[in-house]
């Protein structure tokens, strides 16, 4: 799977989309050496600019802009101790400074973490370039300044204006090129929101996603299935002497295992998100605080393995591609505690997956009920569902009901069937 290119939505505006294409590179040994030099120089310039910016603010109480730092970079490259910076593209070094400046801006405006110095061992090797990038799809190669023409694995071409290209190296030693393309194609018009073409999605750990129409996507749990193998490789690496060839080989095996888990998870998320977007015109999801939920040490591993945030991102940009409406409801809505009759079970525990309503006697599946209520709250937000229809919304059971439940005939007809993806 890593040999094929990937396509993602990187940025969008009201009128156009900027898409990102990712290709696997096949460089020569000489090109690998040059890219490694560029990685190291960009990391050094990033740390140098960050240190200079911090010291200038602490000493002179003023902030250096990206333009000022680029001027200082020109003087730095003339220094006898830093002549090796001239061996790489100057554009890549300037882009590294701009990335550092953007991190500072994001810290003050969006209150994110303070910019950190890049480590040689822990940070991802990456550099960016803007100008003088050419693609030759007939010969499957890309031209990068200083490095030259590099072959890549391609099964998809693109048309449009080339923006920024990012060269990265994975932990397994593979090189990738991510390029931003402005194809000039406007966004499609959004579909008209209708209750019949709307679906609510409730994400979970046991079942990855449960839809309001009864479809169930089981959680493959790729990390849990590979945990035994991963633990064996990690123990093997811990017994090796750091810096030795056997240690490097063991470390590479651990990285390969993690990469396989990541690729399988990404493949699953792409399949599920594409199926949901292609079959519905309106999608309703919860605005979950995934970062806060990860602080729960009992559920953190399961939540991180499910990758809900990545799934929501895929739903967002794929919905924009197809003109599908994506509605987000509040995270504090009683989606799983509210019965179809309107009764709210305040004392419902997380371990209670099936509960009986004391008002109407309906046996409710927690996940499916949450998906149906998410759809209802989303339509209420758009003022498309009257109170009369809300009270008549059937409570669908996924086949876990208790005999003798007082569900209506209409609800019995709408009983969903477990639908699972096999990968």
Enumerate the active-site residues: 202, 286, 367
What span, in angstroms and rounded, lies between the C-alpha atoms of 159 and 181? 8
Which tokens belong to 421?
């993806």
- The alpha carbon dihedral of 214, 218, 219, 224 has a sign of positive
Contact 333, 286 (CB under 8 A): yes
**Residue 381 CA: distances (Å) to CA of 4, 327, 395, 418:** 41, 9, 20, 29
In this structure, the strands spanning 198-203 and 207-211 are antiparallel
Taking the alpha carbons at both ends of the chain, their separation in whole angstroms is 14
**Residue 73 CA: distances (Å) to CA of 46, 67, 68:** 11, 10, 9
Which tokens belong to 15?
């009128």
């Amino acid at each position: 799977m890593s040999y094929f290119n990937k396509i993602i939505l990187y940025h969008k505006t009201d009128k156009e989309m900027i898409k990102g294409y990712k290709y696997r590179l096949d460089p020569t040994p000489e090109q690998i050496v040059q890219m490694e030099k560029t990685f190291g120089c960009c990391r050094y310039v990033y740390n140098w600019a960050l240190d200079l910016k911090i010291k200038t603010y602490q000493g002179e109480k003023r902030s250096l802009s990206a333009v000022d730092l680029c001027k200082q970079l020109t003087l730095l490259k003339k220094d006898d101790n830093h002549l090796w910076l001239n061996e790489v593209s100057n554009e890549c070094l300037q882009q590294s400074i701009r990335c550092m400046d953007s991190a500072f801006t994001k810290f003050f405006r969006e209150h994110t973490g303070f910019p950190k110095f890049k480590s040689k061992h822990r940070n991802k090797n990456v550099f960016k370039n803007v100008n003088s990038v050419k693609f030759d799809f007939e010969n499957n190669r890309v031209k990068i300044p200083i490095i030259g023409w590099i072959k890549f694995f391609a099964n998809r071409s693109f048309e449009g204006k080339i923006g920024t290209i990012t060269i990265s190296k994975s932990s397994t030693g593979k090189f990738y090129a991510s390029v931003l393309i402005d194809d000039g194609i406007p966004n499609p018009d959004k579909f008209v929101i209708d209750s019949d073409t709307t679906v609510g999605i409730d994400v979970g750990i046991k079942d990855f996603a449960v839809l309001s129409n009864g479809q169930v996507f089981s959680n493959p749990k790729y990390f849990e299935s590979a945990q035994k193998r991963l633990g064996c490789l990690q123990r093997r690496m811990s017994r090796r002497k750091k810096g030795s060839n056997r240690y490097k080989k063991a470390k590479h095996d651990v990285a390969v295992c993690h990469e396989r888990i990541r690729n399988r998870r990404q493949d699953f998320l792409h399949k599920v998100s594409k199926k949901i977007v292609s079959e519905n015109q309106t999608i309703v999801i919860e605005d979950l605080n995934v970062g806060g939920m990860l602080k729960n040490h009992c559920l953190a591993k399961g939540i991180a393995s499910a990758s809900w945030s990545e799934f929501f991102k895929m739903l967002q940009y794929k919905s924009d591609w197809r003109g599908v409406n994506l509605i987000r409801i509040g995270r504090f809505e009683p989606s799983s505690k509210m019965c179809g009759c309107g009764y709210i079970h305040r004392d419902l525990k997380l371990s209670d997956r099936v509960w009986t309503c004391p008002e109407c006697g309906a046996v409710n599946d927690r996940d499916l009920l949450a998906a149906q209520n998410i759809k209802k709250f989303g339509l209420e937000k758009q003022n498309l569902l009257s109170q009369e229809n809300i009270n008549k919304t059937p409570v669908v059971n996924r086949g876990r009901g208790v005999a003798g439940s007082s569900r209506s005939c209409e609800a019995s007809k709408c009983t969903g069937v477990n639908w699972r993806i096999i990968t």
